[in-house]
Amino acid sequence: MRVLMAPVGSHGDVHPFIGLGIGLKARGHAVTLIATEIFADVAARHGFEFAPTMSRDDYERTIANPDLWHPKRSAGVIFDAPLLRKYLPIGFEHIRSRYVRGETVLLAGGLSLPARVAHDKLGIPLATIHLAPVGLFSAVETPVYPTLRMRAWWPAPLKRFVFWLGERVVLDPKVRPELNAFRATLGLPPVRRVLGKWIHSPQRILGLFPDWFGQAPDWPDHVRTPGFIRYDQADDKPLSVEVEEFLNAGEAPLAFSFGSAMRTGRPYFDAAVGACAALGKRGLLLAKKTEQIPPNLPSSILQADYAPFSEVFPRVAAVVHHGGIGTTAQALAAGVPQIIMPMSFDQPDNAARLRKLGVARVVPAGQFTTESLTAALRELFADPAVSVACAELKRKLESSDPLIEACDWIERLRGRDGAAK
């Protein structure tokens, strides 16, 4: 089987696809990664063919935009019209040129517009991959959105109306013009409700999270939730000597990470350093060393550009992070408590789920100060129920192998080609 993988986003969005690709390649399938140029090296290390979409320069410009993390303006950054106009045809052509009827399956990230267009135009079998539950709307188990809070007691028809209105007024105007203009060049009709309905494959939807983290009775019948795929390049990039020595030099530190795409995190890292001082704790700042890292760090604080979370998190006292699903999964697997500072995308919903599961406290980005973070950490460490919940969820993750189940569902798509249009 030929497997084409088309994720969209930064490392946290692409790493689960790498994990899937490793599992599928081990079963004898040929794997192609269609992604941002920065992932060429990791694709080569695992023997995947690589097809570049967004250039390194465009990627860096995008993640440097402070609006990327703004709850209201982030969609405008992701669905920037010039970038859509540039990369929709590139992504589609990478898929079209590699499609062999009856032999090919396409795996698409939840925002991969070219992949969904390719399914409509070519009939290529498609699985939409959602890394977090927020990608699937439910009027029963309603997600928490960055700028929208639907109350649990609202009747289902009201929730569906509010969601429809948000699509029509906020999301569709950002996505539909360029998407439908491109579809017209292929002879395809226009679409609406792009992110709420159209983006999902009608054949298979895989939620790469366990059902205890996210499940809803009104999701489509073809949704499957095998579990987290926790790939983090630990096989290629082991702990540096500096990080290893720091971890061994004293009591377990606090780990801080606000996403691989974060470039404007100075206030958050300032608060992190302050909280460590207030608590008498050591700290590990996992982020690129740019202007966002405070200067003149004390010896009790170490900054590292990169360290595999699977190697670090089991050795820390707590993880403070933005609520990205990749970081969330690694912290759950390590069985450590978490402080979540959600900003945008899936982060507020993931934060709400972690709090409900009893393993985390939430500090909103606008309230993330030394004082609030210190208080949240003290509360976290003082609650004995937190460590019990952490241990229980760690055991649940250890009891299953989501990669096997995910690969099984993907293989079942082979040969389910539709008619070309």
Summarised one tens digit per residue, pLDDT across range 355-381 is 999 999 999 988 999 999 999 999 999
Distance of CA 28 to the CA centre of its chain: 27
Res 400: pLDDT? 87
Checking 261-266 for CB contacts under 8 A at 24+ apart, the result is 261/9, 261/10, 261/11, 261/63, 261/68, 262/63, 262/69, 262/287, 262/292, 262/322, 263/63, 263/64, 263/288, 263/290, 263/292, 264/66, 264/69, 264/292, 265/292, 266/291, 266/292, 266/293, 266/294
pLDDT digits (tens, 9 = 90+) for 122-145: 999 999 999 999 999 999 999 998
pLDDT tops 80 at residue 173 = yes
The whole-angstrom separation of Cα 190 and Cα 181 is 8
Average pLDDT over residues 326-351: 95
Here the tokens at position 417 are 């080609």
- CA distances to 59, 70, 77, 228, 265 from 64, rounded to whole Å, are 9, 12, 10, 28, 11
pLDDT band at 118 (very low <50, low <70, confident <90, very high): very high
Based on the domain organization, do 220 and 314 belong to the same domain?
Answer: no
Per the document, the length of the chain is 421
pLDDT digits (tens, 9 = 90+) for 303-324: 999 899 999 999 999 999 999 9
The count of domains in the chain is: 2
User: Does residue 419 sit within a domain?
Assistant: no
Based on the domain organization, do 331 and 263 belong to the same domain?
Answer: yes
Based on the domain organization, do 193 and 120 belong to the same domain?
Answer: yes
pLDDT tops 70 at residue 76 = yes
Based on the domain organization, do 261 and 228 belong to the same domain?
Answer: no
Residues 5-19 as b/e (b if ≥16 CB within 10 A, e otherwise) read bbbbbbbbbbbbbbb
Domain with 347 in it: 241-398
Res 262: pLDDT? 66
User: Does residue 330 sit within a domain?
Assistant: yes
Based on the domain organization, do 169 and 180 belong to the same domain?
Answer: yes
Res 50: pLDDT? 98
Tell me the one-letter amino acid at 37: E
pLDDT tops 70 at residue 281 = yes
Average pLDDT over residues 336-355: 95
Cα–Cα nearest to 27, from 410, 418, 307, 388: 410
Average pLDDT over residues 89-108: 98
Based on the domain organization, do 99 and 195 belong to the same domain?
Answer: yes
Res 276: pLDDT? 97
Q: What is the CATH number of the domain that holds 377?
A: 3.40.50.2000
In this predicted model, which residue has the larger pLDDT, 73 or 24? 24
Based on the domain organization, do 271 and 132 belong to the same domain?
Answer: no
Q: Measure CA of the first residue to CA of the last residue in the chain; give whole Å.
A: 23
Based on the domain organization, do 102 and 204 belong to the same domain?
Answer: yes
Res 261: pLDDT? 64
User: Does residue 420 sit within a domain?
Assistant: no
Based on the domain organization, do 296 and 407 belong to the same domain?
Answer: no
pLDDT tops 90 at residue 233 = no
pLDDT digits (tens, 9 = 90+) for 186-230: 999 999 999 999 999 999 999 999 999 999 999 999 999 999 999
Based on the domain organization, do 328 and 406 belong to the same domain?
Answer: no
Based on the domain organization, do 373 and 324 belong to the same domain?
Answer: yes
Based on the domain organization, do 394 and 405 belong to the same domain?
Answer: no
User: Does residue 416 sit within a domain?
Assistant: no
The whole-angstrom separation of Cα 42 and Cα 251 is 33
